[in-house]
Amino acid sequence: MNGLVLDNNRLLISVILSITQSGFGFADVEQLVRVRDNTVFRIASISKSFTSLLVGRLFDQHKLAEDDDVRIYVPEFPQKMIDGKYAKIPIRSLLNHTSGIRSYHKAAEGKGQSVS
C-alpha cells in the first residue's frame, strides 16, 4: 500500500516496492519488440516521488530546510519578480508545485554532472 500519512504535522511516506523477474507486452508496439527481463523503461513522473523522498531525508538530516530559497543551492535557478522585488522560492514550494515557475529547462550544459 503506497500512501502519504500525516503524523504530528510531519509528512510520512509509505512505499511498497514489488520486484518481478518477468515481463509481458511490448517494449515497442510498432516494431513488435517484446518486453524482456532486462527491458529498460522511462520512469517519467515517478521521479517526483523519489525526489520528494530524498529531499525529505535531507530535511530530517538538517542539510536542507523547507523554507530555504532554492537559489542558495542552485544560484542559476530562474528568478521570479513580484511587486518589483525578487521573490524567495522556498524548497517547499517546488515540492508541492506552488512556486509559480512554469517549466524550467536549462540547456544540455552540465548534463550528467553531479549538482552537489
Q: Containing H/E element for 28?
A: strand 26-28
Q: pLDDT tens-digit profile of 92-107?
A: 888 887 777 666 555 5
Spot the catalytic one: 14, 18, 22, 45.
45
Rounded distance, CA 116 to CA 109, Å?
Answer: 16
Which range, of 5-9, 42-46, 68-72, 76-80, averages the lowest pLDDT? Answer: 5-9
> Residue 78 in contact with residue 101, Cβ under 8 Å?
yes
Q: pLDDT tens-digit profile of 7-61?
A: 555 666 666 666 666 778 998 899 999 988 888 877 777 878 888 888 989 999 9
Q: Which residue has the higher pLDDT, 101 or 114?
A: 101
Active site residue 45: yes
Which residues are bridge partners to 48 per DSSP? none
Q: What is the pLDDT of residue 53?
A: 87
> Residue 103 in contact with residue 82, Cβ under 8 Å?
no
